[in-house]
Amino acid sequence: MRIISGKLKGKSIKFFKNLITRPLKDSVKENIFNILIHSNLINVKINKSNILDLYSGIGSFGLECISREAKKVTFVEQDQNASIILKENLVKLAIIEKAKIINDKIENFIALKTKDKYDIFFLDPPFADENFIHILQLLKKNKIYKKNHIIIIHREKNSKDNFKGIINTLLIKKYARSKIFFGIFN
């Protein structure tokens, strides 16, 4: 895996694959960033944004954001092995000061009642996980989002997710096995 753009373009990142985590494919990641940068539907700029990368795994999305001048990325991942590799990547790329790693359940992180507010939310839950809808509800309830924000959710192409009453979906894109939702809290 590699960083696809920005000041760290071309740098390799360490990853692992197991039955729970799966890395975000470079082609899907590139399409997400093209939409973030070029879509008229989205009022958020990556540079200077505060980003919350949930179910972050080894952090490929958040690392890409840092490469593109994000202000700070908070990574939340409960898998200890993934968190260790994420920290190794941050150290290797010399960007640890731009990141915060939370090795815990997302619900526990949200329960801390952080005062931080985020511009960009990225959720990449395991495809079989349906609990992420509850996570969206908690994020909305705790109002940790800025007025101009964007939520990006990576799901399996055939998923039947229902976000009604939680987010307004702005755009849905499908790439091979992936379906990407772009939305805002309503």
Sign of the C-alpha dihedral, residues 150, 169, 25, 43?
Answer: negative
The residues near 61 (Cβ < 8 Å, ≥ 6 apart) are 24, 29, 32, 53, 122, 124
User: What is the predicted pLDDT for the residue at 20?
Assistant: 55
User: What is the predicted pLDDT for the residue at 72?
Assistant: 97
186 residues of the chain, pLDDT tens digit each? 899 999 999 999 998 765 455 667 888 999 999 999 999 999 899 998 999 999 999 999 999 999 999 999 999 999 999 999 999 999 999 999 999 999 999 999 998 877 899 999 999 998 778 789 999 999 999 999 999 999 999 999 888 888 999 999 999 999 988 999 999 998
pTM of the full structure:
0.93
User: What is the predicted pLDDT for the residue at 87?
Assistant: 96
Closest alpha carbon to 4 in 74, 61, 48: 61
Which tokens sit at 22? 């799966």
User: What is the predicted pLDDT for the residue at 21?
Assistant: 56
In contact, 89 and 60? CB cutoff 8 Å = no
Report CA 185 to chain centroid distance, whole Å.
16
**Superfamily of chain region 26-185:** Vaccinia Virus protein VP39 (3.40.50.150)
Query: In the chain, what are the domain boundaries?
Result: 26-185
